[in-house]
Chain A
Amino acid sequence: MEKEAGNILLKTVGLEIGFKKASGRKNISLIKDISLAAGRGKLIALIGRNGSGKSTLLRTLMRLQPQLSGTILLANRDIENYTRRDFAMQTAFVSTEALSTGNLSVYELVSLGRFPYTNWIGKVRREDRELIDSSLEKVGLTDLRDKMLAEVSDGERQRAMIARALAQDTELLILDEPTAFLDLPNKYEVIRLLKDLAAQGKTVIFSTHDLNMVIDQVDKLWLMTETGIIDDSPEALIENNAFNSLFPGSTLSFDKGRKQFVTGM
């Protein structure tokens, strides 16, 4: 667990995630009793099998779906006690959902990140523009700012979505599989970008299947196993052979020296 208790941004206490059913029917519980902590300025990867509840966890943390029980604390405050706008000023999200619009410019997309801050008609003021420009610069899209989303590559679009989240100017950034559907150079590019953002003080939590790629980069891993979520540093997890509990019943095993999975027992 996290040692520096005073510097915790996000914390879950006895959290149970799953799907709420209409009254009278039983809720579907996915994982019970989750206790996780994310320190300020940390880069955290959420690892787990398909269907293990990664998206459900991240969506619950983002208030996109209700938890079944337990508490989520953001800056020591129950997330249910935030107004929508305050919460949007604290947390930003990049989901796996593909954008259905290609008819916005990169700049227009990123400027939507200023939504919680702008007035009723969404007028972008000077300080908003500065943040939009710096967000574009951080993800390296300054030159493409006037391009339409339909005209840029998948990797560029993903970076534009991240820039939109940056323009939201939040302490916490949560991304659901930001490296999915990207080719190798783009995957590295996105992970490097997330690492930079964490180094600049943002708390970044992202789910991924690319364990090999992130294990040397992240501060912590949230490992979803059949018995619950393990929250620890990559070194400690390797030491405790925790990765072997990730894919029970498969022929994959974790090679400590090479820091990656190998087949065969």
Chain B
Amino acid sequence: MVKTINTSQGYRFLPLFIMALLVLLLFLLDVFIGSVNIPFGESLKILAGGSSSSHEWEVIIFSFRVPRALTALLAGMALSVSGLQMQTVFRNPLAGPYVLGISSGASLGVAILVMGFSPLLLSASASSLGDWPLVIAASVGSALILLLIFAVSVRIKDIMTILILGILFGAIATALVGVMQYFSNESLLKSFIVWSMGSLGNITMHQLRILLLAILAGMLISGASVKLLNAFLLGEDYASTLGVNIKSARALVFLSTSILAGSVTAFCGPIGFVGIVVPHIGRMLLRTSNHAFLLPGSILIGSGLMLISDIISQLPGSDKILPINSVTALLGIPVIIWIILKKKRITQ
């Protein structure tokens, strides 16, 4: 369906173009805004590679703000594409990147690390745990849940059963996390809770490179699934009579979803609502469910929404930072409520 010369599709390129411009603007805004006040012109000069009057400002821009804004950009697009894919495959408007239990699995991994293993280490080292063990624990946790879902999805035909099992696996993981929280000490509990609130700022340039690679890989698979996802719009029976191998197509979509949502969760913590809300905004603005447009649309809207959330979380004008998860919830939940109230108009 790509590149069809057709009046109903031509006008969808313009919104995509405008969205791309907006994302660029929001990215710059996100870099300009922060607890330290750097003049607009200086920021631009530093970004463009020129030297600034203050070395400190250069460090702030390149070591903190740019990685942070890039993380927001990547996390937003990854979560949104995951959500879009889950909504299409499960044919459920309230599905999101985490319906397969990916975030619960990641939480379990982190909880085991922070609260299960740390007491064995010297108490001092508990707080000085680097970011790496955390990232690995989260990845292993979400990969475990994902393997379970994969094993189930090859055996079970009914997609709703898979959805319910995903929720149940997630619930088991959450329950185990609860048990560990109950038995852990206060400082460990705090580091776990800080992780679970989500953060875009704790990521180094080196980690960012890895996140970028993971998201590129996930996006490549998603891009290659556009045709399959469009067939899924008609339901699995129709997709099957069009020649789609349902089980392997599902596996492909689950794979990219877990790479995208899993890597973001590992580095930034579980970030809610973006993945559920963005595909709906995309369908509304682009007036289509055709993934050839909706996928790039979700990438752009997701990046934009995450940048806005990041800007708000930094409370411009103050030196306090809100947890990103609260901001996405406060922005996202009203949209979901609005979707539910307007249910007549939402279709996949």
Contact = CB atoms under 8 A, between A and B. Distances in A.
Interface of A: 59, 62-64, 84-85, 87-89, 91-93, 95, 97, 99-105, 107-109, 111-113, 115-116, 118, 120-124, 129, 145-146, 148, 150, 168
B234 A99 contact: yes
Q: Pick the 10 closest A-B CB pairs, nearest first.
A: A88-B243, A122-B227, A103-B289, A102-B347, A146-B8, A115-B242, A93-B241, A85-B243, A116-B243, A84-B243
A21 to B, nearest CB: 13
Interface string B69-86: 000000000000000000
A95 B237 contact: yes
A170 B289 CA distance: 26
A148 B287 contact: yes
A122 B292 contact: yes
A121 B226 contact: yes
Contact of A120 (B224, B230, B231): B224
A112 B289 contact: no
B22 to A, nearest CB: 23
B325 interface: no
A55 B154 CA distance: 25
Contacts of A116: 242-243
A104 B238 contact: no
A100 B347 contact: yes
Interface residues of B, number: 34
B8 A105 contact: yes
Interface string B268-304: 0000000000000001000111101000000000000
B191 interface: no
B6 interface: yes
A63 B233 CA distance: 20
Contacts of A103: 283, 287-289, 347-348
Contacts of A85: 243
Given A112-B231, A124-B3, A150-B347, 5 more contacts: A63-B240, A100-B235, A103-B288, A115-B231, A116-B243
B287 to A, nearest CB: 7
B234 A93 contact: no
B7 interface: yes
9 contacts: A63-B241, A88-B241, A104-B288, A111-B4, A115-B244, A121-B292, A145-B8, A148-B287, A150-B347
A168 B231 CA distance: 13
Given A97-B235, A112-B231, A84 B244 contact: yes
A121 to B, nearest CB: 5
Contacts of A148: 287
A107 B237 contact: no
B347 A101 contact: yes
Contacts of B1: 108, 111-112, 122-124
A113 B245 CA distance: 16
For A97, A121, A145, the residue with the greatest tally of chain B CB atoms inside 10 Å of its CB is A121
Contacts of B234: 99, 101, 109, 112
B243 A92 contact: no
Contacts of A168: 242
A17 B226 CA distance: 35
B134 to A, nearest CB: 37
B337 interface: no
B341 interface: no
Contacts of B223: 121
A100 B346 CA distance: 10
Contacts of B3: 123-124
Nearest to B293: A108
A33 to B, nearest CB: 26
A141 to B, nearest CB: 13
For A89, A101, A111, the residue with the greatest tally of chain B CB atoms inside 10 Å of its CB is A101
Interface in B224-262: 224, 226-227, 230-231, 233-235, 237-238, 240-245
Nearest to A168: B242
Nearest to A146: B8
Contacts of A87: 243
B348 to A, nearest CB: 5
Contacts of B233: 100-101, 104, 112
B133 to A, nearest CB: 39
B2 interface: yes
Contact of A124 (B4, B231, B240): B4
B7 A146 contact: yes
Nearest to B92: A100
A104 B286 CA distance: 11
B300 to A, nearest CB: 18
B241 A100 contact: no
A111 B234 CA distance: 12
For A87, A102, A112, the residue with the greatest tally of chain B CB atoms inside 10 Å of its CB is A112
Contact of B2 (A100, A122, A146): A122
A118 B235 CA distance: 19
Contacts of A121: 2, 223-224, 226-227, 292
A100 B227 contact: no
B249 to A, nearest CB: 11
A88 B243 CA distance: 5
Contacts of A145: 8
